[in-house]
Amino acid sequence: MNRVLSVTSECAPLVKTGGLADVAGALPAALAPTGWEMRTLLPGYPIVMKAIKPGKPVLKIADLFGGPASVHHAKAKGLDLYVLDAPHLYERDGAPYNDADGKDWPDNPERFAALGDVAARIAADGAGDWRPDLVHAHDWQAGLAPYFLHQRKIGVPSILTIHNIAFQGIAPVEYITRLGLDRADFNESGYEFWGKISTLKAGLNFATRITTVSPSYARELLTEEYGMGLDGVLRARAEDFSGILNGIDDVVWNPETDPHIASYKTPKGKRRAKAALRKEFDLPKSDGPLCVVVSRLSDQKGLDLLLEALPALVDRGGQLALLGSGDKVLESRFRAAAAAHPFISVKFGYDEGLSHRMIAGADAILVPSRFEPCGLTQLYGLRYGTVPIVAYTGGLIDTVIAATPMALRMNVATGLSFHPTTSDALARALLQAVQLFADPPTWEKLQKNGMRQPVGWEASAIEYARLYHEATAAA
């Protein structure tokens, strides 16, 4: 078996704030059949420490950015983990990146430099009797792993995957020495970004290969419009940069075996799930489509556009159930919309079980993102016969076959898509959804096509394996 160390700040089902966790959690099992053994290096947040039985550490560090640290090799929830136990960095209440009030931890630069540092140590000296042939780093939190590999001349190649270019790991210039970076690399082809440090940029410049989570997002990232200041870096490395589509964990997301719902096999079988969902959200019966949103509430997700477009749905008998967490202004606007219309119902917070019940019970799932690296909820929707209605951007382009007249005629459509990402275009898509829903045979075709669509990891795992071989051969 070839060996790859995945370096990530979150990993489902142990700790999750978004899609990164799902991907990191699913990759090891997906890769196993390709001949790559993946172990995952993860910070020892309290929730992770509780989930493992720490034995004798495989690595001890007397001073890791201000305190002692140790690495434990442990198995939990089917994952083969290296857990970085560093109480001064991770032992605190709150979320992985922020405190209970949503404020970023002030020592995030050290907290995640530590992750990159330890990845490089494991690559250099191994942990226990295991040493990786390759390091796969995810996002800015692991961006310094490729950098430290380069700085310490370790000779182990690396991949950096961008899950969202909006998060760039910015730290003030004073951190250069504090994080153990070389001042000589504080430049355009190193980690310097507008006079500050960017750990993501460090990763982009020093990784052997770069990927992102869909081919369309990869193309978009090369443009000024989507690159968020890093498009130039990516253009310079265009030959080493590609998009590999995310899959979903099709054991966790399987309507036939999902423990959160009354299971079903066919579009018709969804009826019970839909009735239960209406009840849970206190929505009355109606002839229109029941649409759901399961999302972070942030500008990226375009939910302000949905607020403006909603009359197109709810004035025609359609309904909306939303589960979200994040931006408080959006939250109060959705609360107000729900108070004003009986066909709109909202819940706030993070609730895995409810997200399953919603995706199972709904007729359609809405993803009106302004940009979307891959997006996972539309993939869950496809698997559950819940028709995705998506903006035409990033991974949403690559995963949903839009109901154009020709796609409908050829019976290949799996969802609806709109462009540009405006409230007017979204309203038109909602109108199209209401019309298609009123034609049950056509709607059912969309559902059946979606349920047949391959949304698991098999194809993408093969692409990662191919890239891993390429990176190790290049090193």
Antiparallel, parallel or unpaired: β 319-326 and 290-297:
parallel
Cis peptide before 420 (omega within 30 of 0): yes
Nearer to ligand ADP, 290 or 376 (CB): 376
HSE value, Cβ hemisphere, 13 Å, CA-based, for 86: 27
Q: C-beta of 170: minimal distance to ligand ADP in Å?
A: 19
For ligand ADP, which is the closer residue by CB, 89 or 396? 396
| Shortest spacing between CB 456 and ligand ADP, in angstroms | 15
Q: Whole-number minimum distance, CB 126 to ligand ADP, in Å?
A: 32
Least Å from the CB of residue 22 to ligand ADP: 5
Closer of 361 and 375 to ligand ADP (Cβ): 375
Q: Rounded to the nearest whole angstrom, what is the least distance from the CB of residue 288 to ligand ADP in the complex?
A: 24
CA distance 80 to 202: 27
Left (φ > 0), alpha (ψ -120 to 50) or beta: where does 99 sit? beta
When the beta carbons of 143 and 388 are compared against ligand ADP, the nearer one is: 388
Q: Which two tokens stand for residue 276?
A: 């239960």
Determine which helix (DSSP H) or strand (DSSP E) holds 150, and give its type and residue range: helix 144-151
CB 381 within 8 A of CB 393: no
> What's the DSSP call for residue 71?
E
Provide the angle, in degrees to the nearest 10, between the axes of the packed helices 144-151 and 108-125: 50
Closest approach, Cβ 437 to ligand ADP, in A, equals 23
In angstroms, give the least distance from the CB of 325 to ligand ADP: 5
Closer by beta carbon to ligand ADP, 201 or else 301: 301
* Partner residues linked to 171 by β-bridges: 197
Between CA 226 and CA 217 the distance in angstroms is 9
Q: Which CB sits closer to ligand ADP, 130 or 350?
A: 350
Let me know: does 261 contact 360? Beta carbons within 8 Å: yes
Dihedral class, residue 237 (left if φ above 0, else alpha if ψ from -120 to 50, else beta): alpha
Structure tokens at 375: 């997006």
CB-nearer residue toward ligand ADP: 131 or 296: 296
Number of separate helices (H) and strands (E) present in the chain: 21, 18
**In whole angstroms, how close is the CB of 247 to ligand ADP at the nearest point?**
12
Least Å from the CB of residue 449 to ligand ADP? 21
Interface residue list for ligand ADP (CB under 6 A) = 18-19, 22, 164, 294-296, 323-325, 350-352, 355, 374-377
The amino acid occupying position 234 is: L
Amino acid code (one letter) for 366 = L
Helix pair 199-206, 144-151: axis angle to 10 deg: 50
Question: How far apart are the C-alpha atoms of 146 and 332, rounded to whole Å?
Answer: 42
- Among residues 206 and 217, whose Cβ is nearest to ligand ADP? 217
Joined tokens for residue 10: 């979150």
Q: Which is nearer to ligand ADP, 351 or 444 (CB)?
A: 351
**To the nearest whole angstrom, how small is the minimum distance from the Cβ of residue 117 to ligand ADP?**
26
Cβ-proximal residue to ligand ADP, closest one = 19
* Sign of the dihedral defined by the CA atoms of residues 221, 222, 226, 231, in that order: positive
Beta carbon of residue 410, minimum distance to ligand ADP (angstroms, whole number): 28
Identify which of residues 105 and 380 has a Cβ nearer to ligand ADP in the complex.
380
In terms of CB distance, is 110 or 363 closer to ligand ADP?
Answer: 363
Q: What angle do CA 400, 406, 412 make, to 5 degrees?
A: 45
Does residue 38 sit in helix, strand or coil? strand
Q: Can you tell me the distance from the alpha carbon of 302 to that of 304, in angstroms, rounded to the nearest whole number?
A: 5
Under 8 Å between Cβ of 191 and 198: yes
